[in-house]
Structure 1
């Protein structure tokens, strides 16, 4: 047992101080990457770009948040990386050593400066062999397989005898999907319109809040007057009932009066323009406008004789 402990100590010390590494030149710069999990990454591990060694790992330490790791690397100064570079934890082979791979997505952006930090959002790692074997072990030991068998049995029981209904349901679902796909432009426009409406409402939330606050006193008054409003509506309902009853009861008399007026109205309509002319002569009788034009002088004497 002691020999195994000594061997493990020697291996750990060797892993923590790997000799050699890429040539970083005289104009090297340092970059720090924040990883959620660095596994067994050690100092002096390789730093690569497109599988070409360009640097080495200097230190691996715990981040101030206590949940992530900070990996400080030295990179050859001739390697130009953009400011939005990504860092990934890779493995040289199935059981090989770990290394950090830096990717240059957009070389047109400003370069990554000395002392820059690649945040946690731009770092990641590959699944480990242990994790894959552990997941496979859970499936092979009955976890996933047993669940898959149960699901298959339940699906068979549900479909047994209902094939026609399921086929009809699938046909309707297919028709629905095709209909939605045919109107996807309209749906997109509707969603865009809703987004614009939501943005407009958000921009005017102060005015909307003010309007709602202004309505509050009025709503309170309406709530206080609810009893009176209810009585008023009931009174209007009674008035409407009385009016309807009165009209129904006087309907025959009203129809008879209108029929009696019909001849008079017909004669007035037949008189046409004669009635206004007759009224014009009546107010000036016996000296109408036509007679006055035929009289000479300023005075007119009229003699009336009673027979």
Structure 2
């Protein structure tokens, strides 16, 4: 005790403080340590000369702690052993060695390391944090034990018991229906997957025709405006169509008996036409080639008509015996 009291006046006389004195058992900084600046929103009771660790291994110490210009950020300057290589996107947090132990700065590795920290690098506030203090843990535990969340859970359990008591058959039926529904959905799994695939193809097609759809929607507005402007004409047209349909229905109703009578009188004619059978097409064939028959049409070769002609020069066959030319009459 006397030796410790003797050291304090010496430190005061030399202008030094206890924070400038390295703690025994600290990290070996080597011959060429480098400086880092770590920004914290809250450093708790971190003090200079505290350890800087990586995976619980001391690699440096806190050199000084300053307040940033915004009066909200703590700037912690640390010294790191020159042989330690850290990624440029490393993080940091204020840790605690035990429940009531000292605070220290823990450097954490990022999920995807990149680059390397060098002398003068800064670990920004968005990559730093701190561990909860013992007071916060005890406060949360006190809230839990004094009717906090446990009391709420108890109320929930009581309400569930009150709701389910006496309703066991209905609950059992409901669970059975849910089981059937899940079983049916599982049985239609392939159809559901096909429907989802079809919907995916539809959305892909719509996405590919997005410009056309946008153009159609852009022109739909002017078209609707034209329809709105011609609403009176469209209404008149629809009313006229309604009147026309009424007149047509009335005309058909009035001429129904006459139409039925005409059809009945037409029945014998159609029956006779049906009885002619193949004779009618034959007659139509002769009618189309009149005055020549089908046989006469066979003599036509190309653009010429060939025929056989006989001349009878026996005038007696034509004039007869009483003719003055043949009989010698006066």
What TM-score does the superposition give when structure 1 sets the normalisation length? 0.69
Residue of structure 1 in register with 2:50 after alignment: 45
**d(CA) in 1 for partners of 2:69 and 2:184?**
54
1:30 is the counterpart of 2:38: no
Q: Deviations over 1:93-130 (max 9, x none)?
A: 00111222223356874333444444445433322211
What is the DSSP-based 3-state SS (H/G/I as helix, E as strand, rest coil) of the residue aligned with 1:56? strand
What whole-Å deviation, never above 9, does each CA across 1:3-56 have from its counterpart, x for those lacking one? xxxxxxxxxx98965733422223433344444433222333211111100122
Alignment of 1:123-202 (within 5 A): 123-173=128-178, 183=189, 190=196, 197=203, 201=207
1:136 Cα deviation after fit = 1.8
Whole-angstrom CA distance in 2 between matches of 1:229 and 1:154: 64
Q: CA RMSD in A?
A: 4.4
Q: 1:196 to 1:227 in 2, by over 3 A?
A: closer
In structure 2, the residue matched to 1:79 is 84
Q: How far is the alpha carbon of 1:271 from its aligned partner? A: 5.0
Q: CA deviation at 1:135?
A: 1.4
- Counterpart CA distance in 2 for 1:129 and 1:196 is 58
In the alignment, the residues of structure 2 paired with residue 219 and residue 166 of structure 1 have an alpha-carbon distance, to the nearest angstrom, of 54
Q: Do the aligned residues in 2 keep the contact of 1:62 with 1:69 (CA within 8 Å)?
A: yes
Match of 2:105, SS state, is strand
Distance in 2 of aligned mates of 1:108 and 1:96: 31
Gaps in structure 1 of 5+ consecutive residues = 1-12, 300-307
Q: 2:308 aligns with which of 278, 289, 296?
A: 296
Q: CA deviation at 1:85?
A: 2.6
The offset of 1:142, in angstroms, is 3.0
Partner residue of 1:217 out of 208, 212, 222: 222
> 1:66 and 1:225, CA in 2 relative to 1: closer, same or farther beyond 3 A?
farther
Write the distance in 1 (CA, Å) between the matches of 2:287 and 2:198.
Answer: 77
Cα pair 1:60 1:69 within 8 Å, conserved: yes
Are 1:82 and 1:107, in contact at CA under 8 Å, matched by a contact in 2? no
For 1:90, the equivalent position in structure 2 comes to 95
5+ long unaligned stretches in structure 2: 1-15, 300-305, 312-330
C-alpha contact (below 8 Å) 1:32/1:72 kept by paired residues: yes
Which residue matches 1:281? 286
Aligned counterpart, 2:22: 19
Deviations 1:59-115 (A, max 9, x none): 444556665544443322322223343323211000111222223356874333444
Report the equivalent of 1:3: none
Q: Decide whether aligned partners of structure 1 residues 69 and 159 sit closer, same or farther in structure 2, where only a CA change above 3 A counts.
A: farther
Distance 1:34 1:133 in 2: 28
1:190-229 superposed Cα distances (whole Å, 9 cap, x missing partner)? 499669949975x987765554333222222222333433
Q: Over residues 171-200 of structure 1, what are the superposed CA-to-partner deviations in whole Å (9 max), with x where a residue is unaligned?
A: 444555676678599579949966994997
Q: 1:6 matched to which residue of 2?
A: none
Of 70-79 and 270-279, more deviation after overlay is shown by 270-279
Counterpart Cα distance in 2 of 1:204 and 1:113:
53
State whether residues 89 and 113 of structure 2, in contact with CA within 8 Å, keep that contact through their aligned partners in structure 1.
no
Aligned to 2:240: 235
**Of the two, which has the highest radius of gyration?**
2
Measure, in 1, the Cα distance between the counterparts of 2:209 and 2:197: 20
Relative to structure 1, is the Cα distance of residues 217 and 67 closer, same or farther in structure 2, using a 3 angstrom cutoff?
farther
